[in-house]
Amino acid sequence: MTNAPKFPEEMGFSQESSLERDATRLDECVSRLAEARKMVSSIIFGQNDAVEQTLIGILSGGHVLMVGAPGLGKSLLAHTLGKVLGLLDKRVQFTPDLMPADILGSEVLEEGADGKRAFRFIKGPVFCQLLLADEINRASPRTQSALLQAMQEREVSVAGYSHKLPEPFHVLATQNPLEQEGTYPLPEAQLDRFLLEVRLGYPNADEERKIVTETTGRYPTRPRQVLQTDDLVEAQDFVRRLPMPDRVLDTIIALCRECRPESTSLAEIRENVAWGPGTRAAQALSLACRARAMLFGRFAPSIEDIEELAVPVLRHRFGLTYGARAEGFTAKGLITDALAHLQENS
């Protein structure tokens, strides 16, 4: 076995460790993930952090909210991931007149050959493995909330009957900045269901030149499938089996508690945060750190993973006071300050 991630001795692994028995499969999985990441990056230019974070969200088994101005490649990133990861993907364009039944499906009354009438459930686009909810904040809150049960329970209820969704199931939602006209803020309960909030910014001059050159030619690069569905499910299983060092777990818990006004030791958080990240945020950060470690060929997460993922995992789980927003405070800045405070006192 070559280039296999090494088990750190301080983690206390034995030769009988289930992960060590599966080391060959894990090594192959890490190699395929590296190839998938390379393939996505060959299509999406100038958004390396967004590609990495979105892959981490899917590896963690979660959902991802992508935020950025129109034309930055949010929809293209979602479609490319579906193709590269071998997932059945569907797209829903959210509009103000979109209804919940347009997403979940509905029952229709049909008449059979024998003349008897019966209801038949027609599945909506949510019955897929990768759902692109495009411009989700252009739909009404009622329609936005229709995804809530699907995202959390992997099933939908229509006319009193529950319908299981395919496995795996992920929602990649794109959102335009809220300051643009015609947008509706997502409900807090639904925001909390997204494992990460990925921000896409404008590329630099060199990256923008490459984008224009590569995408306006006669033969633009097309994504190629790298993983099968079973490969992705296996990778997600490996992520949950990776060990979590006590120091990393303690830092995750301490950071989440430091970001809450009820338990923080920082005056700026106590005075400017209405509510902070809950326990689901700690669970999400733990999974994301494991996924990032695996994506980079490591068998255990480190403090570096927390530093890289704290902002995208926690940012959308903050509620700033009106005064804080008026004074220019941001969730990113407060999370960064909280993490720096913990590291100084560790």
Residue 294 near residue 30, CB atoms below 8 Å:
yes
Q: Containing H/E element for 194? A: strand 194-199
What is the C-alpha separation between 67 and 209, in angstroms, rounded? 23
- Regarding pTM above 0.95, the answer is no
Domains along the sequence of the chain with CATH: 46-201 (3.40.50.300)
Q: What is the pLDDT along the chain (346 residues), one digit of tens a residue?
A: 344 444 444 444 444 456 666 778 888 888 999 999 999 988 988 888 999 999 999 999 999 999 888 888 888 898 899 999 999 999 999 988 899 889 998 888 887 778 788 888 889 999 999 999 988 888 888 888 888 778 888 988 887 788 899 999 999 998 877 555 567 778 787 889 999 999 998 888 998 898 888 888 778 788 899 999 999 999 999 999 999 999 999 999 999 999 999 999 999 999 999 999 999 999 999 999 999 999 998 889 999 999 999 999 999 998 899 999 899 999 999 999 999 999 988 7
Rounded alpha-carbon distances, angstroms, from residue 75 to 89, 124, 180: 12, 20, 18
User: CA 170, 51, 283: angle at the middle one, nearest 5?
Assistant: 50
